[in-house]
Amino acid sequence: MRSETKRSLPLLGILLAAFLTLASSARAESVTLNYLGWYDETIAKVLDEFEAKYGIKVNFKNFESNEEAFNILRSDPTAWDLVAGDGYWPKRYYEQGLTQEFDPTQLTSWSQLFPAFHKFALETWKGKTAGDVVAFPGTWGDYQVTVLNGKVPHKLNSWADLWGPAYKGRVLISGQGNEMLALTAISMGVPLKSVYDLSVDQLKPVTDRLIALKPNIRKIYANVDEIGALMKQQDAWIALTWSAAMANQLGTQGISADAYVPGGKTVGWVNCVMVSASTQHKKEALEFLNFLYSKGMRLVRWQALQVGDHVAESNREFVDYLKSHGDQPTVDKLDMEHPDAVFDMELFKAPKDLDAYVNAWNQWTAAP
């Protein structure tokens, strides 16, 4: 009798282990993450591969501006597990209690980044605990003008040239209000280090100046497809774009275009993903974040994207892969091997009076 009991214990342990494994698997498969992100035509492939690997489904909703995403998350914080953003917005999300800090060294993708982005995230997006961050850096770049050669015969020497009467109804701009205000401030000679620190009184002439650009604005574009279509039809001649990628895409279509920074002064951006403070699935959310920014998934996205959507990546191992597989020209064109360059620009930061910038953009939007 005793010997039978001894023989049954290992079997009981095996059955218990099998049960716990199945229960754990069932729990993982029952998890669904909700991700609020930038428009991304390749995201479905990434989500499918993540679900196949981890058994975790991700529902994706895109937004068109940081302001829109912030309002969506703030209105229903428990509905979201992850949210994308850039610039000062990670700091604002965290200060409002909408996102949480995490230890990036627990993610294998962190070790794949250029060291410059480690420093950037730990300084700019730091949490309350030393070594923790509130956002994981992804793509990056700077604002440039993409111009149709021939239609814009002379190189723009300053952002102020956009106000020229020759460009009436020919300019496309981004819907990112703070960036447009900052570039307008640069056009007026405001020092680069001050473009996000203007007071209400200092912002008024900047807002008025941006309103004065309205006759020249053809449209606020939604994505690269819209830019490409309008410029291909020569309906728009100039677009304020987030990198040189759009000019590259137009070139593949036989359209002569160039991209550059007028006057050499501009603002830069670093994209990121954050974890919601209200998520019930932090472990799974971090698994997705790690997967999204891994070398393998950056390659999946890169191969599926149009040329006009290619922007500089923070993943050093991915950039090395591009170089070793014959894509050095694109690496050079987007200056991907020199991420320190982005920190020579004025990166988006929380303005001293954030509401003043939001109100200024709202005034511009409401103006006829």
Distance CA 368, CA 366 (A): 6
Q: Which two tokens stand for residue 297?
A: 């998934």
pLDDT of residue 253: 84
Domains of the chain: 31-139+271-336 (3.40.190.10), 144-265+348-366 (3.40.190.10)
Name which residue leads in pLDDT, 117 or 347. 117
Residue 334 in this model has a pLDDT that exceeds 90? no
- pLDDT tier at 6, thresholds 50, 70, 90: very low
Provide the whole-model pTM: 0.76
Mean predicted confidence (pLDDT) in 119-144: 93
Amino acid residing at 214: K
pLDDT of residue 333: 82
Q: In whole angstroms, how far apart are CA 86 and each of 1, 118, 121, 209, 257?
A: 68, 16, 11, 25, 27
CA-closest candidate to residue 205, choices 192, 217, 220, 189: 189
Query: Residue with structure tokens 């830019």?
Result: 227
| pLDDT tens by residue, 251-285 | 888 899 999 999 988 988 899 999 999 999 999 99
Residue 26 in this model has a pLDDT that exceeds 50? no
Distance CA 56, CA 26 (A): 10
Tell me the chain's radius of gyration from C-alpha atoms.
24
- pLDDT tier at 340, thresholds 50, 70, 90: confident
